[in-house]
Amino acid sequence: MNINTSNNHDNGEQDQKGVSKKRYMPLLLINYTCLFLGSVSSSLLSKYYFNHKGSNKWVSTWVQSAGFPFLLLPVFLPYYLFQCTQRKPFTRFTPRILSLSIFIGLMLGLNYLLFSWGNSYLPVSTSALLLSSQLVFNLILSAIMVKQKITFTNLNCVILLTLSSILLALGSNHDKPQDLTPTKYMIGFVATIGAGLLFALYLPIMEMIYKKVYCYAMMIEMQLVMELSATILASVGMVWDGGFTEMRKESKEVFDKGEGVYWVTMITNVVTWQLCFMGTAGTVFLTCSLTGGICMTALLGMNVLGGVLVYREDFGGVKIVSTVMCGWGFCSYVYGMYVNNHMMKLLDDHKQNINPSIEMAQPQPQPHSDLHLGFGV
């Protein structure tokens, strides 16, 4: 009886994540789409800013989180305008959740700054492949913090991605721009690795916190607070470094594509970064931190190809091999997930066939329409 009760408890937790297949899968696809569009376009737009004489690292950091007002729409419209949910915004948003959101937001602000430093000095393709190292940290931290099982498939993926990054590091001396000193190139290299480490820490921390979050709407509210905190940190840096004044000067006198293109680039970058981080948070909430890291790593390959196609960056033998290894590792992980899910389904079917009477006797968890999506009646 204890075993069955435990199983029902686990099933209840799974139902909280799933709610219903009709609503879960479309929501997951929307988050995947936001993650894909946001990751690729934001990386290319950030590089576009630096390629055309944009130089302020704080400006690049600020635009990564300044789009937080867009999150007000999914927070308030479902209740006040569409009236499709009975849950008022920020219901059960405890002081503890607020403090955690602020702390993680500040951590993200530091991550954004490191990413800006790395992206300003490194080609998109090199930066993207270096960021793939975050998956190594993600697997280790997930195993420690959320008890993620280390299997052959995820370990194989980590080894391949690690070798890919090492191979890139050994063969990228010729890849640095002509006007970039070795010192600045090394700063960009280290900053990018640091950004990957912080992001890898962010993912399992969020998975732990999301276990206490009971609906998708609350996850968006947490994301709003985190991005607001990161924006405040970046704004302090902007004021300290004269970034807001420099933005006006940069748009008129420095940016070589003109003032209009400058502001279009900034606004578009603000939107695409929010798509990227909202998609990441949603993916972690609906699945797990390791899956979120895997998806981000898979998109790094698209960033590599985007840098080659849009900016005509070098794509020699080293990067080709690194990209192939990255794709190989990702595909092996996806295949391992497919096999594991198939085996779990067969095992569940087998248990139901053996003990149908026990299953019928146990009270079944009732999925709450408003439990983890927050947009139900």
The string over 23-59, giving b where at least 16 C-beta atoms fall within 10 Å of a residue's C-beta and e elsewhere, is bbeebbeebbebbbbbbbbbbbbbbbbbeeebebbbb
Strands (E), the chain: none
Which domain range does residue 281 map to? 26-357
The CA-CA-CA angle for residues 16, 24, 33, to 5°, reads 130
Number of domains in the chain: 1
Structure confidence by residue, pLDDT tens digits, 240-287: 988 888 888 899 888 989 999 999 999 999 999 999 999 999 999 988
Angle at CA of residue 274, ends 192 and 227, nearest 5°: 80
d(CA 319, CA 129): 9
Identify whether 256 is part of a domain.
yes
| Inside any domain, residue 372 | no
In a domain, 66, yes or no: yes
Pick out the chain residues at pLDDT < 70. 1-21, 124-125, 128, 165, 168-179, 301, 355-377
Q: Is position 4 within any domain?
A: no
User: For residue 203, is it within any domain?
Assistant: yes
Residue 135: inside a domain: yes
pLDDT single digits (tens) 21-63:
677 888 888 998 999 999 889 888 988 888 888 888 888 899 9
Give me the sign of the Cα torsion angle 9, 12, 17, 21: positive
Distance CA 177, CA 120 (A): 11
Using alpha carbons only, what angle is made at residue 29 by residues 288 and 127, rounded to the nearest 5 degrees?
65
Q: Does 363 reside within a domain? A: no
> Is residue 11 assigned to a domain?
no
The predicted model scores a pTM of 0.78
- Check if the beta carbon of residue 229 is closer than 8 Å to that of residue 98: no
- Predicted confidence at residue 21, as pLDDT, reads 62
